[in-house]
Structure 1
């Protein structure tokens, strides 16, 4: 019996992983964009909100466009082209001034900044055997968070040295990511490509995938509360910004420390049950926030939903890759990413609507939404297993 471990993963995957870590280590602009708009550009809060909305709309479309292009032009060309476009948009945004110019450039940045996600997910599906995909996707999730943790520290320091340094570093690492992939990761898209007319409409005809997307959107609406409603709710409970920041830092620390220890074990489990379990734990973590009154309690709930996030990390893309036809891996990954982004976009709408009703209603309601997502995944676990058990090995060419 052959034992499959992370050492069995092909070299192109590790180069993709390395490029992802490099890119995320320099991902400085997005977390500090709203601060830059207010403090450097001098925009009012409504103006900054309008720019962030333009960025979010571009990001929402980015997943779908990148997935479609990855299936037609190739994974490598889509990823490298998207990263070069991201670099250019970073430079232009850093030099732009005035609300119309900044908003238009922010939209273009949002439209390109997520290109690497569907392309990367499709590359993993092409290059990695199905038995190793949960481990590979888990490692990619870990690498993204490892790089992001570094970016959070470096971004604050670079912001103190001027906005241009922040935009310049982010643009440089996007180019570095493109260079690593172009040089070391072969094109993996099936030679024939998707049939004419195939694309997002193929996903609309796939009821099982639509069910996964619905669960993903619900999960995104719950998880994104961490960055939308949670800061507001904790401020009302007397948790100051420093305490909130320290509690949220626990999220990155736990992911970096725990995921490598659990990834191999989770990879051996049924992905649908793993996804349902992780979603339920995330839901429980946010539901427990109803009882938080200080920074210590907040840290405890952050730890709970972070464990759930770690569990979800490799399971969702594994399911999407298993459901997707081999010539539509990019499209399925893009639609999945857009579903999560749509849920995240709804998060502040849901959260701010429930916030005035009190913490019990707010966090219990969100906990129920997450639980519904977990139950939905369990309901389709059988059909997912039945369909993916008949999946044929992927035929690929490396060129």
Structure 2
């Protein structure tokens, strides 16, 4: 009995340390994120276009890239809107528009119509990211932000893991209902925000245009963000990291389809990504939160590059694909909270939306170029070239994170 009591006490302390002390508004934002991610049609879009509609891998990559192009534009626009008109109005408007464009994509027919609808989904669907990230930074004090971003990422992957498994089963009977479910969850997300999440934008006036910001720049404009050299170095590495992760959303599905594996198998394999994040994100974040940021990000790049590189040896075995997903998921879990917390640390208070927008722009640029590059490589150079390039990119990103960590430790005049 004493041993059991001690175990319960330790479990209670661990839970309180991981989940306690965060504002109520943050948890409602967390719930809205979870609801939104229960619709996961984008992850099955490449498989829908190739297996269901008969398009080539190159065209599927192009469509995914158009979503990325739309999201790249949306990231910057969404960041500016979050600072100018507020986080909450921006979030509500783009979620309603996302639901509408998702339905349009599901009913589109013909190459041009599908491509146009995909661009609109990217344009609306990703404009919410800077607002959500800025809200978290507004609501949560600095020491707790890495934990808050990890919890938000946890919600994303709980929803993603559930949606991937269920969507694979639904897709086996037809893909069109997936678009309607995705639209419905987006509207439910907007309803939660409307009822429970207040505006968080700072009310005090922004710094004058000539005043220095916390990150070393001046003023809160987009130009200032792009002149912030440390932040832009981080953004460049985020782009490289995103190029790797995009292969899991598009190229991996096509590769598994060509290996003779079904949509159910892909759903189960990619669902491991979300399942591992659900089970391990909080322990991994606690394990790494006191470690050097450069080391944490370096390890994340090595794991992610290795995981995707090992896909070249998966053959036609679903368990082998599952193993590779497990390896790069560990890298993803290590990278996400560390990178997002660093972004908020470098952001000036009244430019948080813009900083988060530029960071989202890096992910969106990766989602624009990554699927197209993966599809072209798969069609014209073979699967070994795709996964070999991912391994190389992981090594390059690791070297970049190592250099950035040293630069962050250097005195301001020597950075």
**TM-score normalised according to structure 2 size:** 0.80
CA contact (8 A) 1:282 1:305 kept: yes
Q: Tell me, what secondary structure is at the counterpart of 1:8?
A: coil
| 2:33 maps to 1:20 | yes
**Change in CA separation of 1:151 and 1:387 when aligned onto 2, cut-off 3 Å:** farther
Give the number of equivalent residue pairs.
383
CA distance in 2, matches of 1:289, 1:184: 43
Q: Which region of structure 1 is more displaced relative to structure 2, 306-315 or 154-163? A: 154-163
**Change in CA separation of 1:234 and 1:71 when aligned onto 2, cut-off 3 Å:** same
CA distance in 2, matches of 1:100, 1:173: 27
Deviation at 1:79, TM superposition (A): 0.8
Q: Which of 10, 19, 41 is the equivalent residue of 1:6?
A: 19
**TM-score normalised according to structure 1 size:** 0.83
| 2:336 maps to 1:313 | yes
CA distance in 1, matches of 2:48, 2:315: 31
| 2:193 maps to 1:181 | yes
In the TM superposition, 1:60-209 aligns within 5 A as 60-94=72-106, 100-158=112-170, 165-191=177-203, 192-193=205-206, 198-209=220-231
Q: Tell me, what secondary structure is at the counterpart of 2:365?
A: helix
Q: Which of 313, 325, 330 is the equivalent residue of 2:353?
A: 330
Deviation digits for residues 277-299 of structure 1 (CA, Å, limit 9, x no counterpart) = 21121112223334444524333
Q: Tell me, what secondary structure is at the counterpart of 2:199?
A: coil
Deviation at 1:141, TM superposition (A): 0.6
Q: Which region of structure 1 is more displaced relative to structure 2, 272-281 or 221-230? A: 221-230
**Change in CA separation of 1:130 and 1:251 when aligned onto 2, cut-off 3 Å:** same
Q: Which of 360, 368, 377 is the equivalent residue of 1:345?
A: 368
CA contact (8 A) 2:154 2:277 kept: yes
CA contact (8 A) 1:63 1:114 kept: yes
Deviation at 1:114, TM superposition (A): 1.1
Q: Which of 306, 313, 316 is the equivalent residue of 1:284?
A: 306
Gaps of 5+ in 2: 1-15, 210-218
Match of residue 327 from structure 2: 304
**Change in CA separation of 1:58 and 1:170 when aligned onto 2, cut-off 3 Å:** same
Match of residue 240 from structure 1: 261
Q: Which region of structure 1 is more displaced relative to structure 2, 159-168 or 145-154? A: 159-168
Deviation digits for residues 5-61 of structure 1 (CA, Å, limit 9, x no counterpart) = 420111111110001001111x24323445556788x68547766654443321222
Gaps of 5+ in 1: 389-399
CA distance in 2, matches of 1:158, 1:195: 54
Q: Tell me, what secondary structure is at the counterpart of 1:188?
A: coil
Match of residue 252 from structure 1: 274
CA distance in 2, matches of 1:164, 1:294: 27
Match of residue 375 from structure 1: 399
Deviation at 1:305, TM superposition (A): 1.2
